[in-house]
Chain A
Amino acid sequence: MSASNEDNMSSHSQLSTLFFNDLLDSIIVDVASECHRIARLGLDRNLDDEEEELRLSAQARARVADPSNSGEATSKYVVDIFGQTHPPVANEIFECMNCGRAIMAGRFAPHLEKCMGKGRKARKTTRSSTAAQNRYSRGSPVSTHSPYANSTSMNRLSNGSPSVAGDEYSNGTLEEP
């Protein structure tokens, strides 16, 4: 009995392994069948996420490139990427530094035309020098034409405006003296 016991042990081990593999195969088939079902029924939503993203980004790009959407002046209720809407004409009101009147931002340039250009040609020199001194207290070069007047159609402050002194300015600040 003792000798056959050892035989039994090894054959038992072998048999155990056989049965274990049999069980495992059944479970593998179950898992495969389940995954197959999920794949064919399209129940796995993550599967197509990458393709979804690609498609959505392509759509967004098309919408951005579409010219009818980019102009603020054309459409009234354009929504930008932050979800903000902008009115077609900039309606922020501030004080004109030349004449001291309350001007709407969108009407500033035409106002300046009248305010500093055609309106008071006779007093151009004095006016612009005082205005320049008031505005640029950091010792800006006083030129006959203040930088603003040179660019007549100015909706935004631009860096490379054709000013006489050739100063680079952004947001109304000048270089340090």
Chain B
Amino acid sequence: MRHSVNRPPTPDVRDDQEKEPTLQEIINIKLIESGEKERLMELLRERLVECGWKDEMKSLCRAFVKKKGRNNVTVDDLVHVVTPKGRASIPDSVKAELLQRIRTFLVSTTL
């Protein structure tokens, strides 16, 4: 699978996953290049801070660090602590808003 950022020579969109970049990859590239991905990330970050999600995750991490000892913690540990709870505790409104924006972008680029 090619991870290159270079555009393929033809703008045709294909579902062929062997040599041609996948639809997902292409759209990903478009997201990044247009700056929309950055904007979406900032929007999501802001919403998650507002609704207290970030504070919840931080307190999870703090509890884990307290249990394991300050100097024995790795970033990987914390990622594994946060990911399951983090994915599950996203408020529906936040998720809906982001999905809506992504879908709008998809529609505008693939048409």
A interface residue numbers (CB < 8 A to B):
8, 11-13, 15-36, 39-40, 42, 44, 46-47
Q: Could you jot down 6 A-B contacts, CB within 8 Å?
A: A17-B99, A27-B48, A31-B82, A36-B73, A36-B75, A40-B70
- Residues from chain A with Cβ under 8 Å of B75 in the complex: 29, 32-33, 36
Majority SS of interface residues in chain A? helix
The total number of A-B Cβ pairs within 8 Å is 95
| Residues in chain A near residue B23, CB distance under 8 A | 11, 15
- Tell me the nearest residue of chain B to A42, going by C-beta: B70
B interface: dominant SS: helix
Interface string of B91-111 (1 = CB under 8 A from A): 000010011001100110010
Is A26 within 8 A of B41, CB to CB?
A: yes
Query: Does B58 contact A23, Cβ atoms closer than 8 Å?
Result: no
List A contacts of B73 (CB < 8 A).
36, 39-40
Shortest A23–chain B CB gap in Å is 5
Task: Give CA–CA (A26, B65) in the complex, Å.
Answer: 21
Contact A23 B44 (CB under 8 A): yes
Q: Which of A23, A28, A30, A35 has the most CB of B within 10 A?
A: A35
Q: B2 near A: Cβ within 8 Å? A: no
For A31, the closest partner residue in chain B by CB is B57
Q: How far is the CA of A16 from the CA of B109 in the complex (A)?
A: 13
Task: Decide yes or no whether B74 CB sits under 8 A from chain A.
Answer: yes
